[in-house]
Copies of this chain bind each other. A is one copy, B any other.
Amino acid sequence: MEEKQYLLLPGPTPVPPVVLRGLAKPMINHRGPEFKELFTELTEGLKEVFRTENDVIIFPSAGTGGMEAAVANFISPGEKVLVVSIGNFGDRFAEICRRFGAAVDKIDFPWGTAADADVLADRIKKDTKEEIKAVFVTHNETSTGVTNDLPKLRKALGDHPALFIVDSVSGLGAMELETDAWNLDVVVAGSQKSFMIPPGLSFVSVSKRAWDAAEKCTNARYYWDIMAARKYAEKGQTPYTPALPQLTGLAESIKMIKSEGLPNIITRHRRLRDMVRAGVRAMGLELLAADEVSSTAVTAVLAPPGIEADTIRSTLRERFNVVVAGGQNQLKNKIFRIGHLGYVRELDILAVLAALEMSLAVCGYQVNLGQGVRAAQEILLKS
């Protein structure tokens, strides 16, 4: 395999050289003073990115592990939950809830659209007995490139006491998220997205109300037990051996995030999204998501009629070493997804758009070479 790849996935995302060097550090004692110092620094850094005073728990796991922790700690078997799904990862949240014995009520919105807060508000109003213990929402739906309006959805709950639990695995750090100001009880994030470090860590923020629920929760959990994590955190440790490379890498990535500044990072992601969308449109292709709900982390593009999305993807990879993601489930082979979060810069996007134009041409699609690139350049120059 050629190492020089343009990796434009919605995760794992490219890892900056300084972070790669951060991974390759000698091991330390996870029960010793060096670790305590690292752990404290990381926890404080994460809280800044989460925009919260809540506790943030670090799990050695994939993002899906953080989602499991967000279920197993707060929902007891038989309890009613409401899952708002706009795609594959909303469905996954519902499936995890089911596996852990919850009575799952699910609101589905068509793939490619965002959740309608009014529909949620209606459903919540009908729960006059306040039986719903938690509402699960996807912040950024990776399978469709759609971002939900979290503040609006949160407000749809009104005074209902359900916990508001958010999967922001691909959202946090690539778009605005205000854990405290938006009153989010639990937020799940992952390492291999805008944190620019490899897969292997998930992060879960926990509000006061969520801690109270966790104390009463009867679901089976040991690895995901946040109460154990809190107890160990008091002495600067984790309940079991943490994934050290990802943690020493995270220390570097948090420095980078602080240096660029969260508001600048969010602006950059917005610009990258706008460049991708303008470029793809100028090639005559259609986008899955409407502009108003379009993700700054990933863009889903419909394959033109008569051409399979996976043929475009394999051409991109084999001819130009550009790797983009395919469609999932009902969108399999109908879309391809360009990730533009994390360690991605404007010129990367121009290169990828150029490769996409050439790949489309190779696949027999009529395209004016340079036209998509030009549309993106115009956005970059105006910004």
Contact = CB atoms under 8 A, between A and B. Distances in A.
Nearest to A59: B61
Interface stretch (A48-56, A236-244, A256-264, A372-380): A236-244
Kindly report how many copies of this chain are found in the complex they form together: 2
Given A27-B7, A245-B198, A325-B31, A240 B63 contact: yes
Contact of A12 (B21, B24, B190, B244): B244
A243 B243 contact: yes
A240 to B, nearest CB: 4
Interface string A137-173: 0000000000000000000000000000000000000
Contacts of A200: 60, 200, 243-246
B9 A29 contact: yes
A181 interface: no
A20 interface: yes
A5 interface: yes
Interface string A93-117: 0011001110000000000000000
Contact of A62 (B29, B31, B96, B240): B240
Contacts of A62: 60, 223, 240-243
A253 B77 CA distance: 42
A381 interface: no
A28 B1 contact: yes
A221 B99 contact: yes
Contacts of A326: 31
A246 B244 contact: no
Contact of A30 (B12, B63, B72, B245): B12
A29 B325 contact: yes
A276 to B, nearest CB: 18
B246 A245 contact: yes
A323 B27 CA distance: 11
B245 A68 contact: no
Contact of A14 (B15, B26, B100): B26
A99 B1 contact: no
A192 interface: yes
A29 B190 CA distance: 16
Contacts of A244: 12, 192, 198-200
A7 B24 contact: no
A83 to B, nearest CB: 14
B11 A241 contact: yes
A64 interface: yes
A54 to B, nearest CB: 23
A7 B20 contact: no
A67 B32 CA distance: 24
B61 A61 contact: yes
A220 interface: yes
Best-surrounded residue of A20, A29, A68 (most CB of chain B within 10 A): A29
Nearest to A199: B241
Given A62-B223, A199-B241, 7 more contacts: A7-B26, A14-B27, A20-B26, A96-B222, A99-B225, A200-B245, A220-B220
What 8 pairs between A and B have smallest CB-CB spacing? A200-B243, A64-B240, A12-B27, A199-B241, A20-B24, A24-B24, A62-B240, A68-B223
